[in-house]
């Protein structure tokens, strides 16, 4: 079986609000697509691209899937501070990880790796 490449799509009412948050969370950079959209991409080219699909509705229920992002223990608190400064909200803090939501309430975890 051959592994497949993939991208991750995040539904968003306001991609311009979410893009800085996810750029910081992932350490990604902007890439302009042939269609004129801006994706977030891994600067090293290994991880999947993130793109934002504009949708009219707000998020209503808990995500059925979310990203767990690994951060060095020495960077964990700084990253949480940066993400809350970009509109994120801490939901819970555990010894091994912190659960947050982005400005449109999409969940993610920042793990102390």
Residue position matching structure tokens 């609000």: 17
Residue 1 has pLDDT above 90, yes or no: no
Q: Residue 111 CA to chain centroid, in angstroms?
A: 13
pLDDT at 113: 81
**Number of domains into which the chain is organized:** 1
Q: Is 43 exposed, middle or buried (0-12, 13-18, 19+ CB in 10 A)?
A: exposed
Residue 1: inside a domain, yes or no?
no
3 domain residue, yes or no: no
pLDDT in tens, 27-69: 999 999 999 999 999 999 999 999 999 999 988 888 889 999 9
β-strands 29-32, 38-41: how paired?
antiparallel
What CATH number is attached to the domain comprising 104?
Answer: 3.10.180.10
Model-wide pTM > 0.85: yes
At 66-92, the pLDDT tens digits run 999 999 999 999 999 999 999 999 999
Q: Where are the alpha helices (DSSP H) in the chain?
A: 15-26, 73-85
């Amino acid at each position: 079986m051959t592994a497949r490449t993939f991208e991750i799509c995040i539904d968003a009412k306001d991609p311009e609000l979410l893009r800085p948050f996810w750029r910081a969370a992932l350490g990604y950079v902007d890439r302009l697509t042939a269609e004129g959209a801006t994706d977030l991409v891994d600067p090293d080219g290994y991880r999947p691209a993130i793109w934002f699909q504009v949708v009219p509705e707000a998020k209503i229920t808990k995500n059925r899937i979310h990203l767990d992002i690994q951060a060095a223990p020495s960077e964990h608190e700084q990253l949480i501070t940066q993400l809350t400064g970009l509109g994120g909200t801490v939901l819970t803090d555990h010894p091994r990880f912190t659960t947050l939501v982005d400005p449109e309430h999409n969940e993610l975890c920042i793990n102390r790796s």
